[in-house]
Chains A and B, each alone.
Chain A
Amino acid sequence: MSLGRRLRRAAQEAEGLFDSKPIPPMPERRASGAVVAVASGVIVLAVFGVVALVVSVDDSTPAVSTSPPMSFSSPEDSTTTTVEASRRVTIAVSGWVGHDARGTVVCPSEFTEACPGIPVTGGDLPPVGNPARVTGRYDGVSLNVESVESWTPYESPVERGELFNPCTGGLGPGTGGQSPEIQSRVEDALAGDENRLAGMWLADGQIVVALTGPDDEVAERVREAHHRVCVDTGYPRSQEEIMTLTSDITQTLILDEGVWILDSWDSASDGPIRIRSEAIDTSTMNAFAGLYGDALDLTAYIEVLDAPLGDLPAQQPPVPADLAIPTAGARGRVAMTGSFNFVLTLNQEQNCLYADRGDERRWLVVWPYGYSAVSGDPTIVYDPAGNEVARTGVPVELDGSSGEIAHIDPAQRCDADHVWHNGGPTRYEIETVWPQLLDSEDQ
């Protein structure tokens, strides 16, 4: 039998092996979601700090805590832990200085407009848009500043435009697309020693191949693969080790510690795996430092200095909210898959909000972290800065992505049969930078 026929038969069998297997639920956008893109060998790990499963408050909640409380929910488990906003803890917030109707705020990202950041009082902060690390006492309403330090946000080598070339004699910038031929030659040269590959990237018209271990015969073999291949040795971790470590660390942080991840970066060219969490306590941070040593650089938007993470008070809304709305449990951003026009409606019977978008479906909108609502005629939804975002009866375009209604507590569904996770003003999209590679005739 010919090879092609054997392959087709095997393919047919493979595709039919699980014909009777039940199909599991569709993937949700979860906090553990990680996109690994290999851009010319540089591993870019972008972790979505995405929508939390939802929490809301019951009707008996007193006025002071009518806002959605902060929730930390495991992506695998919709159980939420509600924290009362009555404590005061010492925290350090590392972010960007912003300013809105609340006054000065420290935002979790460079997007400082109506950000879900923490308002601060006192202290001498740098101008809006600058990074700062602010320490003080926090009660869920504002941070009373005790000290301000500088904080240097991490920029990946791609962001810095510094994918360096450790070899000399670059032949000038290449043109055209990727170079699978060169990649293939490198793969061939590494046959049997694939675990030595730490990364590959384009720099100055050369393909830099980073290898773990010494400059030995394997490096020489790779060097001979193509005249545009430049080999650098001595890297501490291979590509596979980096991916395994990153996966272990993020899974442990998210699932075991309830820590949300805002950003993550790892690269053979750039030392440790860098992870920025939304909130973590110092003891957990130290425990991870002990576990992973110099392989991990873990930072946080909020570091709880004198208490466990569970003691962090819920952030209170700037408006006197009186209507419970479902919100994301963390400040992470929602990746967008679409944008719809919704019309919000107040369900008078259940005192909750649902939305229509012109079809027969009824949608529960999960708002970004820090959003709140005031009931009335109309009922109005506000962002964390107190700006009106939407009102009942008026069409509003909401970016976001759909979710699973099954993950929402039936008591909080407001008779909706679908869920829309709204991205809010912190919209961003994952972008992978694909450097220009060599011209085809050079291969």
Chain B
Amino acid sequence: MVRGVPDFRAFYQREYRSILGVAYALTGDLATAEDLCQDALMAAFRRWDEVGAMEYPGAWVRRVVANRSASRYRRLASESRALLRFGQEPSETPSPSAESVAVWDALRRLRGRQAEVVVLIYFSGVSHAEAAEVMGCSVETVRTHLKRAKSHLVAWLGDEEEA
């Protein structure tokens, strides 16, 4: 019998679209988001005996997406500039609200661990303790990253920080 390996197929079907949404939010480009989404799910698939046994495999995949989005975004920015130079049409993408676009733009400016913690807590809806488990660090560390991330976001978005 299989040794405690949950069904990856069901996970994939259930999570693909929402993970793609997160990837899109973090990169601002559909093709890059699709690549990122596939990469992250592939990473989960390769280690599915380990990831699938976690309490929050979906959060783990979102963390991978957040982690890898920063470098992709930088590369994408230079590719976009190149496309503009060569006069190619941008690809068709969904149209999120202006409010969300502002938030996502700010999220993309966060550094790796800070973006990870925001994605885990606000996009995956996990608690600080659960985020700490997924990130392999202490709850205190999660709080520190979150605090820094929120102070950046507040500065960029002009909001008042939540109590």
A positions within 8 Å CB-CB of B: 1-11, 13-19, 21, 23-24, 26-27, 29, 33, 35, 48, 177-178, 180-181, 183-184, 187-188, 240, 243-244, 335-341, 430, 440
Contacts and interface: CB of A to CB of B under 8 A. Distances in A.
B41 A11 contact: no
A178 B122 contact: no
Given A13-B100, A27-B42, A338-B3, A18 B122 contact: no
A3 B123 contact: no
Contacts of B122: 4, 7-8, 10-11
A2 B160 contact: yes
A187 B154 contact: no
A335 B44 CA distance: 12
Nearest to A30: B42
Contacts of A341: 1
B42 A339 contact: no
B96 A14 contact: yes
A18 B94 contact: yes
A14 B41 contact: no
Nearest to B95: A17
Contact of A16 (B21, B71, B138): B21
A386 to B, nearest CB: 30
Contacts, number: 142
A14 B16 contact: no
Nearest to A340: B2
Q: Which of A2, A15, A244 has its CB near the most chain B CB atoms (within 10 A)?
A: A15
Contact of A21 (B12, B17, B111): B17
A419 B159 CA distance: 53
Contact of B17 (A23, A33, A440): A23
Contact of A33 (B46, B75, B99, B162): B46
A189 to B, nearest CB: 11
Contacts of B103: 6-7, 9-10
A14 B21 contact: yes
25 contacts: A3-B153, A3-B157, A3-B162, A7-B153, A9-B103, A10-B99, A10-B103, A11-B122, A14-B24, A14-B96, A17-B21, A18-B17, A18-B21, A23-B16, A24-B34, A26-B9, A27-B41, A180-B145, A181-B144, A187-B113, A240-B71, A240-B75, A338-B49, A339-B2, A430-B47
B45 A27 contact: yes
A2 B111 CA distance: 22
Contacts of A244: 75
Given A27-B41, A180-B145, A243-B71, A11 B123 contact: yes
B80 interface: no
Contact of A3 (B17, B42, B74, B159): B159
A168 to B, nearest CB: 29
